[in-house]
């Protein structure tokens, strides 16, 4: 099936979807992105993702190139032209095209806007969640503002590749104090031996995941115990359960960390319940 992308005002066949070589997203990762799940053809938690998009843009001083409403229309159009029932929609806004110079270009420079969408395989994702994944720890050598969702993801790319080369699926970043920050493209959680859910508080050292926020709502509704605090790798090794959260994987159980079995080595009941319940609390639009 042919794919389409939105590029700066036009819906183009995928093979013609291009940006300029002097786009600052390409040259400096001077650019912000968002990823929303699409389920039943509907955008999941669009409002929150677009709020975070605006916050990220503001943090790096790029003005929103169109209204939230207009962007919402484009997202839907891309989803519908690509016939996405279950998948993701990706949007990226860069500081635009300008002669290569580190300083911001003229304020008249128009931001570039790209939107793509692709299908995900639901049964494959469900099967993965039923099996659980292995992760390995890596030093968190990212910059100190990973709360901004920029496309500057080289440490995340290298961490993920390292994990795959170790036979794992993902990497967990460990900060200088030995605390787990997050995964390469997801937030990290554990369930302690006392049954308490723990995830790092959302400071500048992690991305405040939208899935994480909605999972907090599920936790509240189910009256589960939760603590927002840093946790060590040792604590994770000894946890009853571990899992990651992100828009594309929702709640994905972790069954091995650095080759050590977590709990009984199977996806845990808490993670699986949160996964099952998630869409009752997420907004679908």
Count each helix (H run) and each strand (E run) in the chain, helices first.
8, 16
Q: Which of 207, 236, 254, 255 binds ligand PDD (CB under 6 A)?
A: 207
Q: Report 237-266 residues binding ligand PDD (CB under 6 A).
A: 245-248
| Shortest distance (Å) from residue 105 CB to ligand PDD | 26
Looking from the CA of 127 toward its CB, the CA atoms found within 13 Å total 5
Q: Which of 112, 116, 187, 199 binds ligand PDD (CB under 6 A)?
A: 187
The answer to whether residue 185 forms part of the interface with ligand PDD (CB under 6 A) is yes
| Shortest distance (Å) from residue 149 CB to ligand PDD | 7
* Angle at which helices 210-221 and 46-59 cross, to 10°: 130
Distance (Å, rounded) from C-alpha 212 to C-alpha 20? Answer: 35
Place of tokens 């496309």: 151
Choice between 35 and 158, CB closer to ligand PDD: 35
Q: Please spell the DSSP secondary structure of 28-51, one letter per residue.
A: H--EEEEEEEEETTEEBSHHHHHH
Structure tokens at 136: 């390995």
Query: Which listed range, 59-67, 103-111, 182-190, 251-259, lies at the site for ligand PDD (CB under 6 A)?
Result: 182-190
What residues act catalytically? Answer: 149
Spell out, one character per residue from 30 to 69, where the chain touches ligand PDD: x when CB under 6 A holds, - when not: -----x----------------------------------
* Angle at which helices 68-81 and 46-59 cross, to 10°: 120
The answer to whether residue 182 forms part of the interface with ligand PDD (CB under 6 A) is yes
Pairing outcome for strands 250-257 and 241-246: antiparallel
| Shortest distance (Å) from residue 250 CB to ligand PDD | 9
The answer to whether residue 112 forms part of the interface with ligand PDD (CB under 6 A) is no
Distance (Å, rounded) from C-alpha 246 to C-alpha 272? Answer: 14
The answer to whether residue 82 forms part of the interface with ligand PDD (CB under 6 A) is no
Binding positions for ligand PDD, rule: CB under 6 A:
35, 182, 185-187, 207, 209-212, 245-248
């Amino acid at each position: 099936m042919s794919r389409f992308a939105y590029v700066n005002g036009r819906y183009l066949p995928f093979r013609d979807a291009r940006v300029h070589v002097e786009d600052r997203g390409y040259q400096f990762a001077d650019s912000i992105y968002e990823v929303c799940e699409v389920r039943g053809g509907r955008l999941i938690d669009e409002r929150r993702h677009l709020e975070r998009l605006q916050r990220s843009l503001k943090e790096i001083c790029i003005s929103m190139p169109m209204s939230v409403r207009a962007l919402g229309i484009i997202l839907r159009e891309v989803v519908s032209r690509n016939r996405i029932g279950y998948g993701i929609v990706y949007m990226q806004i860069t500081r635009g095209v300008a002669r290569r110079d580190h300083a911001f270009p003229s304020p008249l420079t128009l931001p570039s806007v790209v939107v793509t969408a692709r299908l995900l395989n639901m049964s494959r994702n469900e099967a993965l969640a039923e099996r659980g994944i292995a992760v390995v720890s890596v030093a968190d050598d990212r910059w100190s503002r990973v709360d901004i969702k920029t496309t500057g993801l080289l440490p995340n790319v290298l961490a993920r590749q390292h994990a795959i080369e170790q036979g794992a699926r993902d990497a967990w970043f460990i900060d200088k104090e030995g605390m787990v920050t997050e995964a390469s493209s997801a937030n990290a959680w554990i369930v302690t031996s006392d049954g308490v859910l723990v995830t790092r508080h959302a400071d500048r050292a992690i991305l405040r995941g939208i899935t994480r926020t909605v999972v907090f709502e599920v936790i509240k509704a189910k009256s589960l115990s939760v603590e927002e605090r840093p946790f060590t790798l040792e604590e994770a090794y000894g946890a009853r359960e571990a899992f990651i959260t992100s828009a594309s994987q929702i709640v994905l159980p972790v069954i091995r960390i650095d080759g050590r079995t977590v709990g009984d080595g199977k996806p845990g009941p808490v993670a699986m319940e949160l996964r099952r319940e998630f869409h009752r609390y997420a907004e679908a639009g």
